Copies of this chain bind each other. A is one copy, B any other.
Amino acid sequence: MDPSSRANQSLAPFRIRPLFRDADDSNAIRLTDRQREELVNLGTRLQVRPRTMIYLADAPAEFVFVVTEGVVKSYRELASGKPLVYAFLFSRDLFGLAEAGRYVNAARAITDVTLYRLPMTQLAALLKQDAELQYVFLTKVTHELRESQRRTILLNRPDAAGRLAMFLAWMADRTALGDQVVALPMTRSDIAAFLGLTLESVSRAARTLERRGLVAFEGRHAVRIVDEPRLAALVAAV
């Protein structure tokens, strides 16, 4: 695990985070000092408390955001009233997807969050002048697209336990507390809304993984990976 990923840097370099534990970090993309300065000049640093709404769905999209520290969820309420979590966003993640000038989903802080807020029109102007900087953004968005495909694989699994296992393996790469303990800052409901399951199914799937001896939940917001090889096997058994 990359220890620097938990450091609090001002506008930390946009780096392509490895998706799985064994992925290497060689194609990490970093900004030059000048580019970082350009962005810092453009943006505003914000600090928000847990549960703070960062923006609402369908609101005019004036800003793009970058997470510096903490966890954000991007979600939307469906017509049926059920919430759907599109993504959990961590350090260096970019968010604020818009369509026709409006946000397509809502964003809310899960933990204490530090983030940078970049005015969209000014950012667009800057990107059109600085092709190298824009290429970093293009790479970042392309990366999001790959992540989204992995999400598709997850949603195609019919078994709740397998989905949860994939989620835990995925979380293990971003919030390791050290020595195989993974932090789960979000609620079970958020996990359910991300996995396309009900709260009850997530709860039962968690018990199932425990009973099989793959993991051990330590309170509601942490899991210990007990048998990583077998967990990895379950994750791979799509």
Query: Interface on A for B, CB 8 Å cutoff?
Result: 27, 78-80, 84, 86, 97, 99-100, 104-105, 124, 127-132, 134-135, 137-138, 141-142, 144-146, 148-149, 151-153, 155-156, 196, 236-238
28 contacts between A and B (CB under 8 A): A78-B153, A79-B236, A79-B237, A79-B238, A80-B237, A84-B152, A84-B153, A84-B156, A86-B149, A97-B146, A97-B149, A127-B131, A127-B135, A127-B138, A128-B131, A131-B131, A134-B138, A138-B141, A141-B141, A141-B142, A141-B145, A145-B145, A148-B148, A148-B149, A151-B152, A155-B155, A155-B196, A156-B196
User: 3 closest pairs, A vs B, by CB?
Assistant: A131-B131, A155-B155, A148-B148
Specify which chain B residues have a CB less than 8 angstroms from the CB of A27 in the assembled complex: 100
Complex CA–CA separation, A84 to B130 (angstroms): 38
Query: A141: shortest Cβ distance to chain B, in Å?
Result: 5
Number of copies of this chain that the complex holds? 2
Is B138 touching A99 in the complex (CB atoms < 8 A)?
Answer: no
New A-B contacts (7) at CB < 8 Å, excluding given A27-B100, A84-B153, A124-B135:
A78-B156, A80-B238, A86-B149, A97-B142, A128-B132, A148-B152, A155-B156
Specify which chain B residues have a CB less than 8 angstroms from the CB of A155 in the assembled complex: 152, 155-156, 196
Specify which chain B residues have a CB less than 8 angstroms from the CB of A97 in the assembled complex: 142, 145-146, 149
Is A129 touching B131 in the complex (CB atoms < 8 A)?
Answer: yes
Specify which chain B residues have a CB less than 8 angstroms from the CB of A238 in the assembled complex: 78-80
Contact of A145 among B124, B128, B144 (CB under 8 A): B144
Interface centre among A80, A100, A131, A236 (most CB of B within 10 A): A131
Complex CA–CA separation, A223 to B238 (angstroms): 32
